[in-house]
Structure 1
Amino acid sequence: MKKLILALTAIISFSSFADSFKQGTHYTKLENPAPTAQPTVTEYFSFYCSHCYRCSKTIVPNIKQALPSSISFRQVHTFPNPVTEQLSKTFVLSEQLGKAPQIEAAIFDAIHKQKYRPKTKEEVKKLAINSRIKAESYSQTDSFMVATRVKKHGRELKQFDIQVIPTLVINGQYKINLQSVKSDQELLALVKYLTTI
């Protein structure tokens, strides 16, 4: 019964917001889009970003919970320097190990709650191991598979011109203007709207 009520609420919320969403205000069409094969929501984030940290506790879980199984949710960590690139490799590895949510939460908490901000690749390794990645598994951050995925993410960040984080991109075509969104409910409706246009 509770699930039915939540589903009906989501439908009503979506229909009440959908007519008011405007390109240029609530979202922009990417200049160099890369349309996805299936509906996909991508969050671009950084472990060092305090806004991303807050989103990881509130907005991101809400989006994941609200999306139907037909819509994929993925995350890309940004990396403007060697230390953040190592964090990106760590995050990609955590996904491959099937432990991304736990390791993501542990790294975010270490940086923002415990104020441990790695300044070298060795310090990133220490952080990763403290965040429940085994030392023998961590060596895979140097693997071809991880390096290839991180390079692909780098090309994507340039192609989509990701300058601000967190950023949500829908279907590889639309970038949400988070400043224009006034509530979590409106954001969820906007995400769902953009996956259908």
Structure 2
Amino acid sequence: MAIISRSSLTVALVILCVLAICLDSVEAGRRNKGRRKQGRDKSQCKYRAEKTKECDPLTNTRNMTLTLKRGDESACPNTHVIALSCRKVAGCEYSGKVAQWTECDPITSRRILVKELDEGSPESCPATHIRVRRCKKGSRGKAAGDRMLRKKERKSARREARKEARKEKRKQGMKDRKGRKGKLRMERRMRKGKASEE
């Protein structure tokens, strides 16, 4: 019969513990991966952009067709057509600083900027220039901006509260010092008074 020493037994126990921890972490990773896949929002519409058609010289626009890539077919249309402006015509300037981007369209996940004609002849230049951009991921339009504003307000409120607490602490410290100094003066006067009486 083989005799097992204590040191070899402890080594074997340590190896078993390490293996158990490794297996547990691998299993946890598998479970989380499955949750990530299940967590996708089925109601969110995702579109694939197809090639745009040729530019129409009369309207100076081209149509881009978006086909449904992922999402609930009852809530999301299968195709969506967006009219885009063609390239700028030479000599036409548009007012970009005045124009505002629209809110993020939840169906197409795009926002639009419409620029009005600023300089150039109305005969050769189209009246508007349209730009389309994808919305930033995680941006849900106004709600995301509101969330950031609330976060900034909370942060500034905490900062102001800390500042007020420091001021109060300083005031309290000044009162304590003045009180101690006053007591010391009174004690000195009393000592001097006792010394002069003697």
TM-score, reference length from structure 2: 0.19
Q: Which has the larger radius of gyration?
A: 2
User: Whose helix proportion is higher, 1 or 2?
Assistant: 1
Larger relative contact order (CA 8 Å, sep ≥ 6): 1
User: Whose strand proportion is higher, 1 or 2?
Assistant: 2
